[in-house]
Amino acid sequence: MIHINQVGYNPKGQKIAVVANVTTPDNQFVVKDQDTNICLQGQLSEPKFDPESGDTVAYADFSALEQEGTFYLAVGDTLSPSFSIKQGALAEVGDAVLKMLYYLRCGCELHSAHAGPYAHACCHTTPAERYDKPGTFIDATGGWHDAGDYGKYAGPGAVALAHLYLAYEFLPKGTFDRPLGIPESGNGVPDILNEARYELDFLLKCVDAQTGGVFHKITSRAFPGMIMPETDDLPLVASPISATATGASCAAFAMGARIFGAFDPAYAETLAQAAHKTYGWLTQNPSVAGFKNPPEIVTGEYGDDTDTDERFWAATAMWRLTGQASYTTDLQAHYTKLDKTRLGELGWADVAGLGVLELILGEHPAMGEQALTDLRNSAQTIHERVLAKGYFNGLASYHWGSNGAVMNHALLLTIASELAQNTDWLTSAKKMLDYLLGVNPLGISYITGFGSKQIMEPHHRPSLADGVKAPVPGMIAGGPNERRQDPPSKEFLPENLPPAKAFIDHWDSYATNEVTIYWNSPAVLPFYFFATLA
């Protein structure tokens, strides 16, 4: 089988296909156009065994082909899916990955003018009862549904916001001027920030007015059925305040206050006040137990026993917002306690790397150089894993949300490559995008709406219940998960299946085929970066 990026490549970029379990006497490959004309001929690399997939793989490097058009690659009688070579080949993917967040909006109608066949009525407009104060309700409307269900979680939402902020600040000015086709398009604000504001408005409602702490999540007590969001009438509950949710939200408010200052100073000031208020809660509550689901609440826990990284990230964001020395004192104290081996992980449970990026991009006079050294070390570790993998994904393990980890690493390597002027890291980041779009052991595109063989049954309630055959576009599936934590994985995937193939495109496989905001959000920066690369 030939595994290739099923969407396409930029003319001048590296182009490598993985040829798995295919042998030919001459060890040759050819690239042909739609008229079967040979456009390039080359030699396959020496084959090697990849234990994670169980495949014997060789590589076809066709980077020398810079001609634009539609092509396929052949090794003997084995043909690849077709692919394109054109400038901006990944632009549509970038737009779809970002607009996926719009489709997950809660508390508003999705009109057909913006959502097309995925339009639906307004949902989840009732107040949420505070679990810690029965009979007391808060307005928790708005924000994004976190994943395939209808819960909303402060910490993961804050992390997704950070990924969007990084994309907006790091990429060239004008990158996000192209309208996404959301209700706010054309209002003078880039749509990536319009979308971020929708989640920020929700996070502001999750701040307890009295204490400044942030409610960990807004969910029902149990997951709803596989129904449309507007038909979900289960009572909503605001779970208790947590340090992780408060720290992450504080950082999201502080970063937002900096960025929105150029567009809406009054809103930026609202965010700054929220950042100070939530940081005050962190200061007054230096030791807080990790969040655990209260009795009778069985929705996603997002339990995290370590809040040092959230406190560190909050302190770095507050320093960058205000420049005040007190935040430097705090962040330095937290920095000494961090697990530096986790700085390359930018997901909801490991946010220290987001703080490190704040120090570097903000050019902290005392900590910036140390942060850059640590970032380089993390980037090099990921890069070396990419080189060692048969399919270049850079993963240390195949766990729940492995594709999200791949995109976190791609984001980190894209930024680090520019900061350290290391083009090797950029090459590895691009290989990770190729992995999601077909250069993987299953030869599948893990992004809905893209590729000749793409996932069709994600664990996403609207995609199952809306009566539309194709799922909502632009969603990134969780990916291979060797732990098999759902019934379809246990039933249909053989126990001896190699870990890199432990995936099933099944609507009930929430451990491999669910979608989330924070698996999509880190993909925005690298996809837009490579879409605009010459």
Please identify every residue annotated as catalytic: 149, 459, 505, 514
**Three-state DSSP state, 143:** coil
Which amino acid appears at position 17 of this protein?
A
CA distance readout (Å), 50 to 21, 58, 178, 331, 365:
11, 10, 41, 42, 45
Q: Which residues contact 469 (CB under 8 A, 6 or more apart)?
A: none
- Alpha-carbon distance 446 to 497, whole Å? 19
Element (H, E) at 361: helix 352-361
Q: At what angle do helices 352-361 and 368-388 cross, to 10 degrees?
A: 120
Q: At what angle do helices 402-420 and 352-361 cross, to 10 degrees?
A: 20
- Alpha-carbon distance 532 to 516, whole Å? 25
Which residue's structure tokens are 């020496």? 46
Decide: 395 and 440 in contact? Cβ < 8 Å: no
Q: Which residues contact 416 (CB under 8 A, 6 or more apart)?
A: 375, 376, 378, 379, 422, 425
Q: Which residues contact 10 (CB under 8 A, 6 or more apart)?
A: 85, 86, 87, 88, 89, 90, 530, 533, 534
Longest dimension (CA), the chain: 76
